[in-house]
Structure 1
Amino acid sequence: MALPPKLVFLLDVDNTLLDNDRLRSDLMCHLAQEFGIENQDRYRTILEDLREELGYVDYLGAMQRYRLTDQTNPHLYQMADFLLDYPLMDLVYPGAFALIEHLGQWGTTVILTDGDVIFQPHKIKHSGLWQAVDGRVLIYIHKEQMLEAISTQYPADHYVMVDDKLRILTAMKAGWQERVTTVFPKQGHYALDPKNQERYNPPDITIEHIADLIRHDFSSLTDL
């Protein structure tokens, strides 16, 4: 029986490998142009309420809820078309694919993300990220609460968690302690919010952009 890999890299998607802030901004501009500012604001409010309720951003779920407030609008179905037809490969950060290949020399790369069961996998597949990790994709509601499931699915001696949310990195460090190395790319609105940087513990490694990680040598972790 093959031994489990010594090292597994767990890579977040939104604002880590892929510019989700840009997707959201483009969607809001589209809604304002096609449906008006008032309807854009209504959708934004629903989206935020749903994020607070679920713990992740659910674009399509918010559209379903928005529909309940405007069932007679014949153009409503065009709202989802924008997301489903969006050129998602354009959102992948420069250097992300090269990094995934680079990390493979030290261990197994796995996408670990929160999200819904429809648009999140659609986003990962149509951006090319699903193929880049050979289908090793885990999508949860609260990934920081799924450490046992993650380690069962992808057992390893050590993990490297790459995420733009310090809240996630702090929680995973508390759960796995010295078994995980946390990497914080300072990308996106969560990462750049000074309140988050004050509230949570500092990560093991901080980088400005995801592509910067390609210069980091992880060979020492394979000897743990």
Structure 2
Amino acid sequence: MFQRSSVVTLFDVDNTLLDHDRVVRDVKRHLAETFGTEREERYWEIFERTRAEIGYADYLGALQIYRTQHPRDSGFLETSLYLLGYPFANRLIPGSLDAIEHCGAWGPTVILTDGDVVFQPRKIDRSGLLEAVDGRVLIYIHKEQDLEDVECEYPADHYILVDDKLRILSAVKEIWGSRVTTVFPRQGHYALDPEVTAKYPPADVTIDRIGDLINYDLATLLAATK
């Protein structure tokens, strides 16, 4: 338990601090080379079905299911090692670490993300994000449904939430209201899809890239809060 802070800044990971779209492209290329196009497509069918069922991306879980359907395909070993050894530090979006450091000047910075219990922690560790936030990481199935736990773990008078998904920002704003400043970096396929973004109200602050956050001081962010 942390003592109550005046401000805590919460950072999403995928396409907020880390170029997840690039990671997916790399994984797709690896799968095609390892399994062939037909079985690569089968893996993604399993992946998407699993994500719809459990609510988050589970790369290794989908690989486990793929293995049960193709038990003699030794490519799963190579793919497992590829995923666990992936160079996530090379996929940080420029300015990510600077943004974390900048926000750390006014209070604790915390990783707040969704994901599985193996691959997502591995990603956060190998990318250097775990060290950047001094180990302060929260991983949920649906983070917008666990805000009470966030408040228990890192109590604060005010939160700043940085996330590339307007859906998440809107959901959290509904619950926390003026206690949260929502920051929307327009990065990744969700943030740049006009049909997706049109479904939700704008965030308190919109920036083109995560590195632009260093141009905002705390007073400016608080003043933008609706």
CA shift, 1:221, in A, is 6.1
After TM superposition, the structure 1 = structure 2 runs for residues 67-216 of structure 1, keeping only pairs within 5 Å, are 67-216=67-216
Percent of pairs with identical residues: 55
| Distance in 1 separating the partners of 2:214 and 2:220 | 15
Asked if 2 retains the 8 angstrom alpha-carbon contact of 1:111 and 1:136, the reply is: yes
The number of equivalent residue pairs is 223
CA shift, 1:169, in A, is 0.4
| Distance in 1 separating the partners of 2:72 and 2:105 | 55
TM-score by length of 1: 0.96
Asked if 2 retains the 8 angstrom alpha-carbon contact of 1:106 and 1:219, the reply is: no
| Distance in 2 separating the partners of 1:38 and 1:92 | 31
Q: Which runs of 5+ in 1 are unaligned?
A: none
Asked if 2 retains the 8 angstrom alpha-carbon contact of 1:110 and 1:136, the reply is: yes
CA shift, 1:75, in A, is 2.6
| Distance in 2 separating the partners of 1:75 and 1:202 | 44
| Distance in 2 separating the partners of 1:208 and 1:221 | 16
| Distance in 1 separating the partners of 2:220 and 2:194 | 32
Q: String of CA shifts for 1:164-196, please: whole Å, max 9, x gaps.
A: 111100000000001001001111111111121
Q: String of CA shifts for 1:4-55, please: whole Å, max 9, x gaps.
A: 2110000000000001111111000111112110011001111111111111
| Distance in 2 separating the partners of 1:28 and 1:220 | 41
- Would the alpha carbon gap of residues 221 and 28 (structure 1) be closer, same or farther in structure 2, given more than 3 Å must change? closer
**Which residue identity does 2:138 align to in structure 1?**
L
Q: Which runs of 5+ in 2 are unaligned?
A: none
CA shift, 1:219, in A, is 3.0
| Distance in 1 separating the partners of 2:90 and 2:21 | 13
Range with bigger deviation, 56-65 or 74-83:
74-83
TM-score by length of 2: 0.95
Asked if 1 retains the 8 angstrom alpha-carbon contact of 2:181 and 2:221, the reply is: no
**Which residue identity does 2:21 align to in structure 1?**
D
